[in-house]
Amino acid sequence: MRKISWLFVLVLTLSLVLAACGGGSGEDSEGGTDDEGSGGEEGTEESGGDSGGSDDGGTEAGEDWVENITLLTGGEAGVYFPLGVALADIIDANVDGVTATGVSSGASVTNAEQLNNGEAQLALVQNDIAYFGAEGINMFDSPLENYSGMFTIYPETIQLVTVEGTGVESVSDLEGMRVAIGDVGSGTEANATQILEAHGLSVEDINAQSLDFADASTNLQDGNIDAAFVTAGTPTGAIQELSASADVRLVNMEQDAMDSLMEEYNYYVQQDIPSDAYENFDSETTTVAVQAMMIGSNDIPEDQMHEITRVIFENLDEVANAHVRGEELSIDTAEDGMSIDLHPGVQSYYDEQQ
């Protein structure tokens, strides 16, 4: 390990100040899907990790390291997005020679596919979906063999959201109703299908609409839909926002249905949503949850993945600051609910911490 000199610190500080003056931190402007290049100045695309790339005693970049890392999240009104942007920022600022960017996406299923195809290098996904992908079952035609596990973070509760006046008081009430089932290719969509089935319904029995959390929330508010499935950590931005202006209700799952779900699919656990999860709620909601986790491409060399893992676990305060669920990332629970094999670089980091 090298000791950093004061001269180096000075140069680093100066370069960071210059980068800040030069029009944004890169990952913020690229964090959204559609505001890229708002500054328009040349050089913006280089304002990421390369300028501030070195770190306190980190491994030097290897020749085979992947220089540009895309971290797939979910829709902007979810929890993956703020957390993923923070995780990318940590990598960008601390891994030598690497630029990392958190981007919004359709979430778990499409994230797993895109990672497998080499279109991205890191992604947040549900542990159930990561498993289905690795095994090539359910929505996946064949095993996705090019990603591995990194860490699990927090429970993502299946929230069936409605507003006062729709008459939706149980899952069975959804028959014939207009229901948002998540974005196309989301984990939410998969959970919605399984939950309907566990309650004796199918997607054909409802008027299903593929909407991301933000659109589902707006449509609930405007009375265009009756309910929405949301698989995400609480508080979920979209529901929080809706609860500030509408009388939001979360619907309880039935115990028998939850039992059969947990029996059929390994990764559901029973997890109630506390009454203080959102404004103006006065009772707990009975539901199930899966785990949010991070996966990484097997194209990332072992020593680079070790370094990525190290910088994340050494900057946990930044993850916690991005969203309250980020507080749950901890090395002690990183393998709880892990549904697939760990990346060798992650495994070697955990082995060292024993």
Name the minimum Å distance from CB 254 to ligand GLU.
Answer: 22
Q: To the nearest whole angstrom, how small is the minimum distance from the Cβ of residue 141 to ligand GLU?
A: 19
User: To the nearest whole angstrom, how small is the minimum distance from the Cβ of residue 12 to ligand GLU?
Assistant: 33
Q: Give the nearest distance from C-beta 80 to ligand GLU in angstroms.
A: 4
Report the residue number, 30 or 156, with the smaller CB distance to ligand GLU: 156
Residue 168 Cα to chain centre, angstroms:
28
CB of 104 to ligand GLU, least distance (A): 9
In angstroms, how far is the first alpha carbon of the chain from the final one? 20
Closer of 22 and 102 to ligand GLU (Cβ): 102
Residues making contact with ligand GLU (CB under 6 A): 74-75, 78-80, 107-108, 126, 156, 182, 186-188, 231-232
DSSP, residue by residue, 190-232: HHHHHHHHHTT--GGGSEEE---HHHHHHHHHTTS-SEEEEEE
Which burial class, exposed, middle or buried, applies to 13 when counting CB atoms under 10 A from its CB (0-12, 13-18, 19+)? exposed
The first and second tokens of residue 199, run together, are 């309650």
Q: How far apart are CA 210 and CA 218, in angstroms?
A: 13
Of residues 19 and 179, the one with the C-beta less far from ligand GLU? 179
CB closer to ligand GLU out of 31 and 345: 31
Q: Which is nearer to ligand GLU, 229 or 313 (CB)?
A: 229
Query: Which two three-digit tokens encode residue 98?
Result: 């690497």
Radius of gyration of the chain (CA): 21
Smallest gap from residue 107 Cβ to ligand GLU (A): 3
Q: Which is nearer to ligand GLU, 78 or 345 (CB)?
A: 78
* CA dist., res. 336 & res. 291, Å (int): 9
